[in-house]
Each structure stands twice: as C-alpha cells, then as structure tokens.
C-alpha cells in the first residue's frame, strides 16, 4: 500500500463523493452520475455465491466496462426499459465509510450500504451490502475508477432483478 | 365473431377455428399448484445439476429438487449421487452448507454421521437400539432415480418412470449440439450462480424462454444496444425478427426454437461487439469445428441459436452464450430461478471472458433483457387477478399451418408444452 497516496484523501472527501453519488442515483440524474466516473471505469455486482470472484472467470450479476455502462444508462433512460418503467424509487443509506489503502495510483475506499427500492405495485425490497471503490485523483477531482457492490444476501431471491444502478 | 371457449377445461384446442386457449386459473389456483407437484414434478425427470459442478470426490452442492432438500455429491469412489438431505433418525438436514467438500455428513442434532455415498457411518450410543438395529439399512435415502445424459443429471421421484434417454428422446440431439462446441466433448458449469425469484407462475417462464414473438416489444433496449454496437438487427421487410427461425416439437413435451444466428456466438460466429481483436481467434475456433465435425455439422453448431425447453422446467439457451436455467414454483404466483453459464472446458481466458460478457449483456438479473422478461411475467401475473372476468390466454399463432412451418414467432412450440402439461394433469399416460 502506498501510505502517502492514501493520506492525500480524507474520509470527509470520500464521504462527500459517496453521498453526492447516492443523491444523483436516487434522483435518477444518471448522466451526471456517469461524469463521476473515469473514462475506463468499471461497475461490478458479483454473484451472491462468489462475492470475491474475478469477472474474467466467474458469471457475475453485473460486470460493466465503460462501453456497456454507457449503454446501460441509455437503456435506463428509455421508457422501453420495462424493468425500470415506471422507474423505481430508491433511497440509499451509506455508512461506515473508510479509506482502506491504495493500488498504484488508485485510492481504495469502502462503505456499507442499505438501498431501499420501491416499485409500482410492489413491496419494499432492501438491498444490503458493502461497496469497494477504487478512486482516482483527476484534475483535482476525486473520480470513481471502479465500484463493486457486494450484496450480503445468500442469493438474490426475493430481491429479484438488479435493474437499477445498485 | 371471434371464437371464445366455454366450459371448464384448462386447455382448449379448436382446430376448426384455429384457436388454442389456456385458462388463466392455471396460473393462480392453489389447487393447481398442489396438483402439479404430484402430477408433474413427481413424475418427470427434473434437473439436478451438472457433473462438472462436482470436480473431486467428496464435493457436494445442496439444493432443492422437486421441492425436496437434496445433496448432489460425488462420493469417495467418484460416483455422482443425489441423496435426500434428511437424517434417518429425526429428520434434520445433515448438511447445512451450500457447497463444499465433505469427508462425511454430520447431523448436528444427535450426531449421526453418514458417508458421502449415503451409508450410515456412526450413531452415538448405538447399543441403546438393541439387537434389531441394522445400520446398513439406515443410510441417507437416495432420490428414487438418478441418471445423466452427457453430464446433465436428472432425478425422478417416480420409481416406475421410463428411463432418462427415452424420456429425453429427440431433445438429446439438441443437447448434443451444445456439447459439440467443445473439442473434447466436455462442457462445464462456470462458477457464479444467478438465483432470483420471479413473482409469477413458473409456466410463464417456460413460455417466455422460447417465445420469440415478444423480442421486439419487450427487448427493444437490447436491440438498441446491439444496433449501437454495429450489429444488424433490422428485420427484413415483412418479418418480425432479423432472421426467420422455427419452433419445433421434440416429443414428450420438449420443444425448441431453431434460429439462424444473427446475434453472434462465442463458438464460433463473430459480431462487432467482440472487437476486431477477436476475429482471428473465432476464425480458428470455426476451423477446428469444421475439421472435427465437417462443414455441415459445424454450421449447424455455430450458425444456429436454439432455446431448448426440456419438460417441465429446464431451459438450455444456446446462442450468444449458453445458459442452463431451471425454475421451481414456490407458490402459484412465485417461482425460484437458478441459472448458470456453461462453456467448453478448453476455453482460454479471453474466450471465457467473451462468453461471460455476451451472457451478461442479455441474460440474468442484471442483464439488458432478462429484467424486462421478469417485468413482463410479473405484469401478466398481476393481470391474472382478473382471471374470472378475462379467463383465456390465447396461444393460437400459427394454428392452421403445418407442423414443420411453425415459426419461432408462432406459438406452435408453446402449444407442445401445454398439451403435455394438460395430459399429465389429467392423469393420462
């Protein structure tokens, strides 16, 4: 770990980023959310039975490179994205935010999440887990190079689809 | 005036009117749900798992099979078994882990232990049972029948059922097409399981898995993605889909779509989504297929996509990837789905990554298509609350056309499922 790099970011700065991100996602400001990501960012939701796996060898729930992530946002904004039309209402609680280290020029950070999701004609579905982030300082801004949303549930089960950005 | 059926039959077929109807009571009725368990799931060969999931002696997976808790395992001698996960003494699960490798199964209630082949190994305080206790008769109970076809393992709870090969019949040919992708004839389940519930009746997913009629309306955002990625998905004039494919009756309630491929295949049909770098690799795989199988069979494997439904609840989609997906009703309006990716054991890291990428673009709870299927099925289930007022689902597309003219966008292959379902529910052989 590069202690020096990790020390260049405070927990408060990481919290500000995560809280801002949660607000953008909950209010479906998806283009603004994309702008928080680096050009080569990746977004992962590992399978519930292999939370620590590598997407090259394991079937994930979501494993987006930036090309597919941009396409995912195009899809989510389309009224023909039936799984999210009408759009879910979500509310994210982010806690236990920590700067956990670094890898090369990336700062590692983690947080716990509870995401409540409400849909038309549906009950509350509660997604609980933790995030692992890799962050990159670009032009003074802290940007997201990788975000991994790891669910605690043993299986998706009654959570159903992960059709919104978790 | 449109023909509407009367009477109390669940499935109504009227060839003269070219109509086929299913009564929506079958999707909501607790009575039908209970009867299906006995009339269908206890009499059919139901999917348990794939041999590749159990690499080493002692490997096990616990999973429900036809509603029973089952240990799917490979014993110390290498034999694959499906043992009912229920202690002979007082009934507790003897294995409470999802998966692992076991030297023995240990019941935590009173400490009875069993070998991975099911034999009872030890009983604390055995002398209390007196002289009539025969340990050799007190092993874990195996499922009544277990058999496999090319490493796909199925169980049957009816000891009198026909053998698996007879049951699968012509569906075997379509499994063979899947296996032929591998140079050594060995496919493997890739790690990572997708398990999710759908708040809809399980039979809707059988229909949906093979119904090509819904593609354009339900999956327009996926088609947009393909278009944005440079793939030609525009149907020719007068057609519903980019290629004209067929829906086929394979006998015994099994059915398949059989479509000329337009959406790419990891083995071995390049599309722009894979990137220019992948072209040479996919060409080489294609050459290997031709050398091994001849050009006609190679084209059959690599130029067609097939969604195969094995009655009652196993679907193998062989196209932009290979999915193995089965589902079991947990209530009239809820099913539990388990899905895996399947691939040739020989795949390189790049080939495997390409396969998984293609899988995730379309399939699964985070894909660009499956969540919309789930939304469609759940919307149908909500509509069925009015089954008394709006009782009939219409599956008449293609009625009046010959059997070998049924398109994948027709409903001839869906009718195959419903006829078999009805036959079994009515207790006909």
| Record: contact A74-B225, CB cut-off 8 A | yes
- Which residues in chain A are closer than 8 Å to B341, comparing Cβ atoms? 59
**Is A87 in CB contact (< 8 Å) with chain B?**
no
Torsion A21-A23-A25-A30 (CA) sign: negative
Q: Shortest CB distance from A78 goes to which of B195, B221, B359?
A: B221
Select from A46, A58, A59 the residue whose CB has the most chain B CBs within 10 Å, as the one to mutate to test that interface: A59
The per-residue pLDDT string of chain B (429 residues; one tens digit each, 9 = 90 and over) reads 788 887 779 999 999 999 999 999 999 999 999 999 999 999 999 999 999 999 999 999 999 999 999 999 999 999 999 999 999 999 999 999 999 999 999 999 999 999 999 999 999 999 999 888 999 999 999 999 999 999 999 999 999 999 999 999 999 999 999 999 999 999 999 999 999 999 999 999 999 999 999 999 999 999 999 999 999 999 999 999 999 999 999 999 999 999 999 999 999 999 999 999 999 999 999 999 999 999 999 999 999 999 999 999 999 999 999 999 999 999 999 999 999 999 999 999 999 999 999 999 999 999 999 999 999 999 999 999 999 999 999 999 999 999 999 999 999 999 999 999 999 999 876
Count helices and strands (H / E) in chain B: 11, 21
| Record: contact B376-A47, CB cut-off 8 A | no
**Residue given tokens 């299913």 in the structure block:** B22
Six-digit token pair at A81? 């994205």
Can you give the length of chain A in residues?
Answer: 166
| Record: contact A49-B193, CB cut-off 8 A | yes
Q: Rounded distance, CA B259 to CA B262, Å?
A: 9
Type and span of the H or E element at B208: helix B202-210
Q: Shortest CB distance from A59 goes to which of B192, B196, B349?
A: B192
Q: A16-27, pLDDT tens digit by residue?
A: 999 999 999 999
Q: A47-103, pLDDT tens digit by residue?
A: 999 999 999 999 999 999 999 999 999 999 999 999 999 999 999 999 999 999 999
What is the model's pLDDT at position A2? 66
Can you give the length of chain B in residues?
Answer: 429
- Which residues in chain A are closer than 8 Å to B340, comparing Cβ atoms? 59
Type and span of the H or E element at B166: helix B164-168
| Record: contact B220-A78, CB cut-off 8 A | yes
Taking one residue from A and the other from B, the number of pairs with CB-CB distance under 8 angstroms is 123
What average pLDDT does this structure show over A102-112? 96
Q: Closest Cα of chain B to A13: distance in Å? A: 30
Closest chain B residue to A79, measured at CA: B221
For the sheet containing B19-23, what is the strand order? B11-14, B19-23, B392-394
pLDDT at A1 over 70: no
What is the model's pLDDT at position B429? 65
8-state DSSP, A93 = E
- DSSP secondary structure string, A120-159? TT---EEEEEEEEEEEEEETTEEEEEEEEEEE-SSS-BTT
Domain layout of chain A by residue ranges: 3-155
| Record: contact B224-A49, CB cut-off 8 A | no
| Record: contact B220-A47, CB cut-off 8 A | no
Q: Shortest CB distance from B195 goes to which of A72, A82, A155?
A: A155
% of residues, chain A, pLDDT over 70? 98
Count the neighbouring beta carbons within 10 Å of the beta carbon of residue A71: 20
| Record: contact A47-B224, CB cut-off 8 A | no
Q: Rounded distance, CA B155 to CA B143, Å?
A: 7
Closest chain B residue to A65, measured at CA: B357
- Residue of B344, B369, B345, B325 lying closest to B268 (CA atoms): B344
Closest chain A residue to B357, measured at CA: A63
- Residue of B160, B157, B154 lying closest to B144 (CA atoms): B157
Give the alpha-carbon dihedral of A6, A8, A9, A11, to 10 degrees. 70
| Record: contact B195-A163, CB cut-off 8 A | no
- DSSP secondary structure string, B109-138? TT--EE-TTS-EEE-TTGGGGGGG--GGG-
The verdict on ipTM greater than 0.85 is yes
- Residue of B60, B5, B52 lying closest to B395 (CA atoms): B5
Six-digit token pair at B289? 């297929």
Q: Is the peptide bond before B268 cis (omega within 30 degrees of 0)?
A: yes
What is the model's pLDDT at position B428? 78
The topology (CATH level 3) of A3-155 is Nuclear Transport Factor 2; Chain: A, (3.10.450)
8-state DSSP, B407 = B
**Is A160 in CB contact (< 8 Å) with chain B?**
yes
| Record: contact B356-A63, CB cut-off 8 A | yes
Q: Shortest CB distance from B352 goes to which of A56, A154, A161?
A: A56
Q: What is residue B236's three-state secondary structure? A: coil
**Residue given tokens 């874990």 in the structure block:** B140
- Which residues in chain B are closer than 8 Å to A83, comparing Cβ atoms? 371-372, 374-375
Q: Do residues A23 and A140 make contact, with C-beta atoms less than 8 angstroms apart?
A: no
| Record: contact A59-B374, CB cut-off 8 A | no
Q: Shortest CB distance from B193 goes to which of A47, A68, A121?
A: A47
């Amino acid at each position: 770990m590069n202690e020096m790099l990790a020390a260049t970011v405070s927990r408060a700065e990481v919290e500000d980023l995560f809280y801002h991100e949660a607000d953008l996602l909950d209010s479906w400001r998806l283009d603004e959310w994309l702008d928080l990501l680096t050009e080569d960012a990746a977004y992962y939701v590992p399978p519930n039975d292999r939370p620590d796996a590598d997407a090259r060898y394991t079937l994930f729930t979501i494993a987006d490179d930036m090309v597919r992530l941009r396409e995912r946002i195009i899809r989510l904004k389309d009224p023909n994205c039936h799984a999210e039309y009408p759009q879910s209402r979500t509310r994210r609680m982010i806690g236990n935010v920590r700067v956990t280290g670094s890898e090369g020029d990336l700062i590692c950070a983690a947080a716990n999440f509870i995401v409540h999701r409400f849909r038309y004609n549906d009950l509350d579905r509660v997604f609980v887990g933790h995030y692992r982030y890799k962050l990159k300082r670009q032009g003074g801004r802290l940007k997201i190079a990788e975000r991994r949303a790891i669910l605690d549930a043993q299986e998706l089960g009654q959570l159903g689809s992960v059709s919104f950005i978790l | 005036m449109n023909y509407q059926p009367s009477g109390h039959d669940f499935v109504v077929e009227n060839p003269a009117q070219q109509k086929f109807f299913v009564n929506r009571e079958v999707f909501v009725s607790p009575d039908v749900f209970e009867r299906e368990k006995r009339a269908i799931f206890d009499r059919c060969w139901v999917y348990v798992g794939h041999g590749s999931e159990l690499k080493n002696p002692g490997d096990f997976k616990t999973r429900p099979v036809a509603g029973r808790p089952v240990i799917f395992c490979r014993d110390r001698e290498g034999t694959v078994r499906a043992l009912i996960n229920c202690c002979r003494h007082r009934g507790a699960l003897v294995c409470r882990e999802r998966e692992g490798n076991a030297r023995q199964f240990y019941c935590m209630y009173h400490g009875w232990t069993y070998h991975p082949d099911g034999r009872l190994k030890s009983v604390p305080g055995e002398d209390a049972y007196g002289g009539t206790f025969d340990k050799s008769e007190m092993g874990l109970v195996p499922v009544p029948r277990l058999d496999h076809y090319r490493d796909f393992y199925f169980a049957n709870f009816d000891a009198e059922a026909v053998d698996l090969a007879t049951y699968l019949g012509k569906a075997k040919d379509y499994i063979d097409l899947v296996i032929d992708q591998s140079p050594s004839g060995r496919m493997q389940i890739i790690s990572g399981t997708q398990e999710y519930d759908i708040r809809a009746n399980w039979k809707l997913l059988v229909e949906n898995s093979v119904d090509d009629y819904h593609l354009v309306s339900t999956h327009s955002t996926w088609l947009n993605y393909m278009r944005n990625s440079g793939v030609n998905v525009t149907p020719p004039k007068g057609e519903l889909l980019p290629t004209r494919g067929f829906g086929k009756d394979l006998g015994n309630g099994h059915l398949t779509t059989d479509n000329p491929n337009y959406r790419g295949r990891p083995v071995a049909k390049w599309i722009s989504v894979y990137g220019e770098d992948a072209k040479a690799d996919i060409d080489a795989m294609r050459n290997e297929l031709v050398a091994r199988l001849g050009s006609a069979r190679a084209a059959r494997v690599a130029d067609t996509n097939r969604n195969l439904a094995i009655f009652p609840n196993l679907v193998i989609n062989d196209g932009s990837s290979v999915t193995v997906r089965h589902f079991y009703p947990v209530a009239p309006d809820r099913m539990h789905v388990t899905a895996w990716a399947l691939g040739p054991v020989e795949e390189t890291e790049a080939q495997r990554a390409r396969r998984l990428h293609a899988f995730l673009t379309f399939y699964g709870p985070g894909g660009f298509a499956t969540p919309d299927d789930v939304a469609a099925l759940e919307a149908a289930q909500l509509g069925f609350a009015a089954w008394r007022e709006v009782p009939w689902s219409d599956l008449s597309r293609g009625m009046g056309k010959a059997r070998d003219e049924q398109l994948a966008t027709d409903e001839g292959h869906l009718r195959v499922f419903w006829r078999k379902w009805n036959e079994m529910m009515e207790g006909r052989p």
